[in-house]
Amino acid sequence: MTAVDVRVERVEVVPVRVPARIGPAYEAALVSLHGEGLVGLGEAPALPERGAGLAALVRELESGEPASPAARCALETARLDLQARAAGVSLARLLAERPWPSVNCNALVSAERPAEVAAEVETLAGRGFSVFKLKARSRGGTADRERLGAARFAGGQRARLRLDFNGLLGPAQALAALTGLEEFGLELVEQPLPAAAPVADWTRLQARVPVTLAADESLALPALAEDLAGLGIVLAVKLATVGGPAAALRLARLARGPVLIASSYESGVGLAAALHTACALPAAPPACGLATLDRLDSGLVSGAVPDGPRLRLPDTPGLGVELDREAVARYRLDK
């Protein structure tokens, strides 16, 4: 659909820190574009490990010339939200002629001990989840095998399991570890190689292991991301990593394999943007990593925010969310 041009009259940038129920507090810069009586929203998660500290994000967004992928993502999302609201359509409808009405999601299993992993998987399965993602803790060694075994026992043979290495393994380590995990019937293994590992390493590993590979951190490198898309590696795309919805959809159009959208544990603004982008993908995605809002003490938005094993597009214009001003005031850092 053709976007409606809206004149931006004011830009508001608010840094926030929201306590997390698991792990460190979440920091982000929220951007609001005001124009013609409407407000478009965007969110830039602060990811220091990817060169996006909060203070730098705020400066980029206030300058109107964002350089980092996270800041570009926030500003682009806010503009798209503003345009979609002006047109009276969802952001997904602005991005795609016929967006998918909903997407399935995986559940992230946070427990460490095998017994606790089994209990958490049982609880999540009771909520309707059937795809479970674990973070590797021992480079595919004993602890990971025990945790995967517990997850498989609790979820049964119909459960789909994923393991994320976050780039911890070199090529030889990855070959040994992934070959040794064949018995668990993993749906996919995410980012076994370092973020900057060349496409040749991915090609060799893909040819020699009996499991589907997915890339996440490597997608921060645009040329490598395009190479991996052409190779058929599963792309686990985070909007703040690639620079926003438009970049995510360009990558998806190049992909010879499946593409899913995952979160950077954003608040409801960033998650809404990710949901709309997932529904705008050319092909229906495998389970996306978007069921993460309950990790934060507050989603910073008002109204019904999609959560659970299947997320449906809201039937309201734009992102379909509004800022909860009381929550934003409680967690903003520039008071």
Which of 316, 286, 287 has the alpha carbon at shortest distance from 303?
316
Query: Bridge partners of 310?
Result: 104
N-to-C CA span, the chain: 40
Extract long-range pairs of 52-57: CB within 8 Å, 24+ residues apart.
52/240, 54/15, 54/27, 54/28, 54/29, 54/333, 55/15, 57/15, 57/28, 57/29
Phi, psi of 145 (to 5 degrees): -65, -40
- The DSSP call for residue 260 is E
Is 135 marked active-site? yes
Candidate list 72, 79, 85, 238, residue with the active-site label: 238
Residue 123, C-beta contacts closer than 8 angstroms, at least 6 positions apart: none
Which amino acid makes up residue 227? D
Alpha-carbon gap, residue 6 to 86, rounded angstroms? 7
Contact 162, 234 (CB under 8 A): no
Mapped onto helix, strand or coil, the DSSP state of residue 212 is coil
Token pair recorded at residue 37? 């009586």
* Max Cα-Cα span within the chain: 59
Catalytic residue among 34, 59, 135, 139, which? 135
> What six digits make up the tokens of 208?
């020699």
CA distances to 22, 125, 142, 306 from 146, rounded to whole Å, are 22, 19, 6, 33
335 among known catalytic residues: no
Strands (E), the chain: 10-18, 26-35, 38-45, 102-104, 107-109, 131-135, 160-164, 188-190, 213-215, 234-238, 259-262, 301-302, 310-312, 322-323
Active-site positions read 135, 238
